[in-house]
Amino acid sequence: MSQPRFGRMIPAMVTPFDENRELDLNKAQALAARLVDGGSDSLIINGTTGESPTVFYPQKMELFRAVVEAVGDRVPVIANVGDNCTADTVNFARDVAELGVDGFMCVVPYYNKPPQEGMYQHFRTIADAVELPIILYNIPGRCVVNMEAETTLRLAHDCGNVVAVKEASGKMDQIKAIVDGAPDDFAVYSGDDAATFDIMKLGGTGVISTIGNVSPARMKEIVDLCAAGDWEAAAAANERLMPLMTGLFETSNPILVKEALKLWVSPWAACACRSWTPPPSSPSAWPRSCARWACSTRKRSAETVRARRAMRRSARTVSTKKDRSIARSDA
């Protein structure tokens, strides 16, 4: 398989906030750098996992600018500009393009419940108004409506800058139809970490990943093995990471993935003697105990317990010498 425009493993990066619930741009830049160091091919900024509904346009601009400044010379930075208002999306995308991002992600209009022709006209209008490449985002669980394969394929063939879709419908027959009917250079990304292996077996490109925030190198390993056609090794790598994929989705995303990162971050944040340090890429590299945790008086919430349990289950699957080598390379 040839290398896609945006690569195969693209974390949908979480958005860090400070204790006042304001954007923490320094942590955002540090996290972006860590994800690239872990092998990420591109970054999606302020998508679903990045809590886009809670970040207003001026703050989104600050976030995009900060990430482009931190890693824009290393990997493509893709800005989520999608909205349920076509005109707002067009105007915002034009403003964001001036920041130096490399592409856009646009979601199916939520709440409005448009028919298939309405979806087509929404995305066609956006595509005609901008030059940067666009990733469509189909997530019926959050948007209520599903963009059918025929609509995705119309856009893929009619709009030269509609270059990919993030498919989170869970409909494997629909995803297969898109893979089979799309232009050769059109990328089909899994929008669900746990479905990545199955979608790539159908001919999909890779994943726009939540788990990539926590363990980018191990998620990257899975998609690279799939792309190489080494399905036995890919299945084994997928099985090793599955406890984390399922465990961090026991409640609404991004609650547990942010808690997983916070489990490493909090002791440093709570201790005035240390600056924030991003966590290692692999759960197996996380300490079971650490003296510095004595600095933190944060009460363990139910989310903390769930996130820690998921990380430990995933860490226990790293049992062979080869696996430990992979884990060390993540750190």
DSSP 8-59: SEEEEE---B-TTSSB-HHHHHHHHHHHHHTT-S-EEESSTTTTGGGS-HHH
Q: Given this model, what pLDDT does residue 286 score?
A: 41
Q: Which of 137, 220, 258, 262 is catalytic?
A: 137
Q: Whole-angstrom Cα distance, residue 13 to residue 39? A: 14
Q: Which of 27, 60, 166, 258 is catalytic?
A: 166
pLDDT tier for residue 2 given thresholds of 50, 70 and 90:
confident
The dihedral sign for the CA sequence 37, 277, 49, 168? positive
DSSP 8-state symbol, 300 = P
- Picking from 192, 317, 327, 170, the residue whose alpha carbon sits closest to that of residue 246 is 192
pLDDT tier for residue 3 given thresholds of 50, 70 and 90:
confident
Contact by Cβ (8 Å): 118, 130: no
Number of other CB atoms surrounding residue 98 within 10 Å: 9
Contact by Cβ (8 Å): 45, 69: no
Q: Whole-angstrom Cα distance, residue 331 to residue 217? A: 9
Residue identified by tokens 């349990």 is: 309
pLDDT (tens digit, 9 = 90+) per residue, 14-46?
999 999 999 999 999 999 999 999 999 999 999
pLDDT tier for residue 262 given thresholds of 50, 70 and 90:
confident
Model confidence at 137: pLDDT above 90 = yes
Q: Given this model, what pLDDT does residue 70 score?
A: 98
For residues 111-140, average pLDDT: 98
For residues 160-183, average pLDDT: 98
pLDDT (tens digit, 9 = 90+) per residue, 67-123?
999 999 999 999 999 999 999 999 999 999 999 999 999 999 999 999 999 999 999
Q: Given this model, what pLDDT does residue 320 score?
A: 46
Q: Of all residues in the chain, what percent carry a pLDDT higher than 90?
A: 75
pLDDT tier for residue 314 given thresholds of 50, 70 and 90:
low
**Alpha helices (H) along the chain:** 25-37, 57-71, 86-97, 116-129, 140-143, 149-158, 172-181, 196-201, 216-227, 231-247, 255-270, 302-316, 321-330
Model confidence at 296: pLDDT above 50 = no
Angle at which helices 216-227 and 231-247 pack, to 10 degrees? 150
Q: Whole-angstrom Cα distance, residue 237 to residue 220? A: 10
Q: Given this model, what pLDDT does residue 309 score?
A: 66
Residue 137 bears catalytic tag? yes
Q: Given this model, what pLDDT does residue 1 score?
A: 56
Q: Whole-angstrom Cα distance, residue 160 to residue 295? A: 54
Q: What is the average pLDDT score of the chain? A: 86
